[in-house]
Structure formats: structure tokens, C-alpha cells
């Protein structure tokens, strides 16, 4: 893997009185931090709204990191073989995370049905679980902990299993 | 206008299998994590890659801000009518175009040969927008998405070429082909 920083993109979405929408994206240098891009977008929003008679509906700031070797998965890999985690959150909700291409070697074959449940004590699975539940230290910036849609922390992993299901893939950005 | 950021930052990790089929792993971070989000994503990538036999090839982090509903489009507004701004870049001869949806007719030149066609560069709203696009803000500078050396519009691996000055601005209809 050779991950490199891509551009930061600030996108503004407008809507006219017929409810037709149109967007404009502005690229910032790859070295721009997300924080700085957000500050730029917050400054830009008033100025760009002032030159349009459409309603500025929303804006977004995004950053990409990508592998410039554009690799393929291992032989026999399938993105639709998902690893699925059902997770309890501190607000007493349940959320589900899935990832493409669960490794067969992480599945338990000694319980029924065999090859269905993920081995939570496997060192790699346990490390992922710890990161999800306790977060990852980002040095002086503190600990970053994943959350559910409401911004609530994860509390515990309720279930972990393999499921074959369709894939979701968002629209690719150009550039 | 009151803008409110989403309470979460969206992280999307893209995977590819050996057939070239692609799929995503989606994760959310609290808004407070924005300054450290990219550092988190890089560390998290190695953990998630270790439990997948697909190749992780792209990670995208996005924050969305929405209006509180106070924004209303003007009667007769048209998202396809655009304020088209042509910028000279720091690469001589290479022009970058930024087209803002929704033209305000009063910002067009009112007299002269380009009346009702060219945007008035002395208009305060136009010049304020141009100034920010050319100068950027602290730690953030808009760029044309290509390399100064190759001039190509490659999807990846570009450092970006800063915008130098506004060359001209006019109103246009429909997204131009090169957008």
C-alpha cells in the first residue's frame, strides 16, 4: 500500500425556484487540512451566495487518501462477502457496520453454522474491535472514537458474522 | 443565513476484490473529531485492511453543512444560468474555470460592448469572491486540479496549480463540457 493525500474538495449545492439543483466544487491543495478546508468553506459560503440568485442549500468539505497503485484484492476475494458487526451504542441503540471481503480465516468453523461467525478473539479482529469501542489516539489531537449517526459512542459488540450481500458504492468524484 | 454542520463526519473506505468489483465500508466520527479525522483514518485503515482480503484503495472523509432553511431561491432563478469565472493560473496559458450556479443579472455590465454578457469585475460581490479564490484563507488555497509540469487533468497525483488572477467573467448556460 502506498497511500497518498489527494485534494481537499469544497462543494456548494444550489437550488433554484423550480427545485433544480446544481453544484460547484473547488479544489484545495492536497496539503490542506480538513480543518483549514472547513474554515475556507465557512468563509466562502457568504461570498458565493452573494453572486447567485439560487438558494445555497448545503456545502461539504471532503478529503481523500488513496493508494496510487490502484490494487486488486487477493485471489478469490469477493467484496460481497461482508464482515458484519452489530454494535450497541451508549444511547442504548444498535448500529451495524460492515466491511467488504471478510477473510475466511477469521470465521469460526467449530460452531453451527460453520463459517458464519467471526472470531472476536482473533488478534486482528480484536484490534479492530478495540479501535471501534475505545478509539484511536491521534497524539496531541486526542483520542478519536467512532460513533453512530447521532454522534454517540460505541459500547460493545453484540454480534459478528459473515453475510453475503450487495454492495453500496457512492458516486466517484472526478479529480 | 445560519449554517449548521452535521453532528458526524462521514468516513468511506473503498475496497476492490480480485474481479475489480468495488464496495465500501462506512464509518462515522463525531464532529469534534474533524481536526484528527485524517490521522484516525490512516491508522484505522491498517486495522480494517487486516480483516479483509479485498484491497483498500481509497478513503474519503466528508463533513456536510446545511442551511437552517432560511435560504430561498429568487423567483425566476435558474440553476443552469451560471456566473462563469475564467482564471489565469500560475501555469502560463492554462485557464481554470469556476462556474457558480444562479446568475444575478444586476452583476452584469450594464453598458459597453459586453453589456448583459460580461460580469462586472468591479462589482463588490464579484471582486470579494475572486479575492478569496485567488488568495485563499489560512492554510487553504484553491487550485486548478493538475500539475504545473504536465498540464493534464489527471484524476490523481497532482499538486495543484494556484489561481493567479481573474481573466474574464461572463454568464453562461448549462454546465460547459469541460466541467
The model's pTM: 0.87
User: By mean pLDDT, which of A12-26, A112-126, B144-158 is the weakest?
Assistant: B144-158
Closest C-alpha to B39, from A121, A135, A161, A123: A135
Pairing of strands A21-28, A3-15: antiparallel
Distance separating alpha carbons of residues B143 and B141, to the nearest angstrom: 6
DSSP-derived 3-state class of residue B120: coil
Partner-chain residue, chosen from A58, A128, A170, that has the shortest CB–CB distance to B51: A128
Instruction: Please list, in sequence order, all residues whose beta carbon lies within 8 angstroms of the beta carbon of residue A84, skipping any fewer than 6 positions away.
Output: A96, A97, A98, A159, A160, A161, A162, A163
Is B51 in Cβ contact with A125 (below 8 Å)? Answer: yes
* C-alpha–C-alpha distance, residues B34 and B20, integer Å: 31
Contacts of B26 in chain A (CB under 8 A): 97, 168
Strand partners, B100: B83
Q: Is the pLDDT of residue A171 over 80?
A: no
Q: Residue B70: what pLDDT?
A: 79
Q: Looking at the complex, does the CB of residue B135 fall below 8 Å from at least one CB of chain A?
A: no
Alpha-carbon torsion, ordered B52, B53, B54, B60, to 10 deg: 30
pLDDT at A150: 85
Please count the residue pairs, one from chain A and one from chain B, whose beta carbons lie less than 8 angstroms apart: 348
Q: B18 to chain A nearest CA, in Å?
A: 4
B163 Cβ partners below 8 Å, 6+ apart? B87, B88, B89, B90, B96, B133, B134, B142, B143, B144
pLDDT string in tens for chain B (179-residue length): 688 898 899 999 999 999 999 999 999 999 999 999 999 999 999 999 999 999 999 999 999 999 887 788 999 999 999 999 999 999 888 899 999 999 888 899 999 999 999 999 889 999 999 999 999 998 899 999 877 665 554 555 677 899 999 999 999 887 544 44
Q: In B27-66, which positions are buried (b, 16+ CB within 10 angstroms) versus exposed (e)?
A: bbbbeebbbbbbbbbeebbebbbbbbbbbbbbbbbbbbbb
Rounded to a whole number of angstroms, the distance from the CA of A110 to the nearest CA of chain B is 19
Q: For A155-165, what is the mean pLDDT?
A: 94
CA atoms A79, A85, A86, A92: torsion sign:
negative
Span A60-111, pLDDT tens digits: 999 999 888 889 999 999 999 999 999 999 999 999 999 999 999 999 999 9
Q: Which of B166, B15, B23, B147 is nearest to A7 (CA)?
A: B147
Q: Which of B139, B169, B89, B92 is nearest to A35 (CA)?
A: B139
Amino acid at each position: 500500500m502506498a497511500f497518498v493525500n489527494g485534494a481537499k474538495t469544497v462543494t456548494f449545492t444550489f437550488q433554484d425556484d423550480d427545485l433544480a439543483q446544481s453544484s460547484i466544487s473547488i479544489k484545495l491543495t492536497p496539503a490542506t487540512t480538513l480543518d483549514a478546508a472547513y474554515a475556507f468553506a465557512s468563509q466562502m459560503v457568504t461570498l458565493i451566495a452573494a453572486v447567485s440568485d439560487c438558494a445555497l442549500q448545503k456545502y461539504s468539505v471532503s478529503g481523500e487518501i488513496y493508494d496510487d497503485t490502484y490494487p486488486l484484492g487477493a485471489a478469490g476475494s469477493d467484496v460481497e462477502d461482508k464482515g458484519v458487526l452489530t454494535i450497541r451504542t451508549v444511547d442504548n441503540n444498535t448500529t451495524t457496520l460492515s466491511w467488504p471481503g471478510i477473510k475466511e480465516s477469521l470465521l469460526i468453523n467449530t460452531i453451527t453454522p460453520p463459517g458464519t461467525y467471526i472470531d472476536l478473539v482473533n488478534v486482528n479482529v480484536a484490534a479492530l474491535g478495540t479501535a471501534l469501542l475505545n478509539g484511536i489516539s491521534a497524539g496531541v489531537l486526542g483520542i478519536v472514537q467512532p460513533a453512530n449517526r447521532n454522534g454517540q459512542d460505541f459500547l460493545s459488540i453484540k454480534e459478528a458474522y459473515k453475510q453475503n450481500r450487495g454492495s453500496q458504492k457512492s458516486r466517484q468524484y472526478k479529480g | 443565513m445560519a449554517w449548521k454542520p452535521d453532528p458526524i463526519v462521514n468516513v468511506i473506505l473503498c475496497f476492490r476484490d480480485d474481479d475489480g468489483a468495488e464496495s465500501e465500508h462506512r464509518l462515522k466520527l463525531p464532529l469534534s473529531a474533524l481536526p484528527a479525522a485524517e490521522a484516525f483514518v490512516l491508522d484505522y485503515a491498517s486495522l480494517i485492511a487486516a480483516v479483509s482480503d479485498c484491497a483498500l484503495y481509497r478513503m474519503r472523509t466528508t463533513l456536510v453543512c446545511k442551511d437552517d432553511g432560511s435560504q430561498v431561491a429568487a423567483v425566476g432563478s435558474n440553476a443552469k444560468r451560471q456566473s462563469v469565472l475564467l482564471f489565469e493560473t500560475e501555469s502560463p496559458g492554462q485557464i481554470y474555470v469556476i462556474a457558480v450556479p444562479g446568475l444575478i443579472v444586476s452583476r452584469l455590465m450594464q453598458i459597453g460592448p459586453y453589456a448583459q454578457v460580461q460580469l462586472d469585475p468591479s462589482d463588490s460581490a464579484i471582486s470579494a469572491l475572486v479575492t478569496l479564490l485567488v488568495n485563499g484563507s489560512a492554510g487553504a488555497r484553491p487550485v486548478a486540479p493538475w500539475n504545473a509540469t504536465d498540464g493534464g487533468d489527471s484524476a490523481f497525483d497532482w499538486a495543484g496549480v494556484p489561481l493567479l488572477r481573474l481573466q474574464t467573467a461572463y454568464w453562461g448556460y448549462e454546465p460547459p463540457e469541460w466541467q
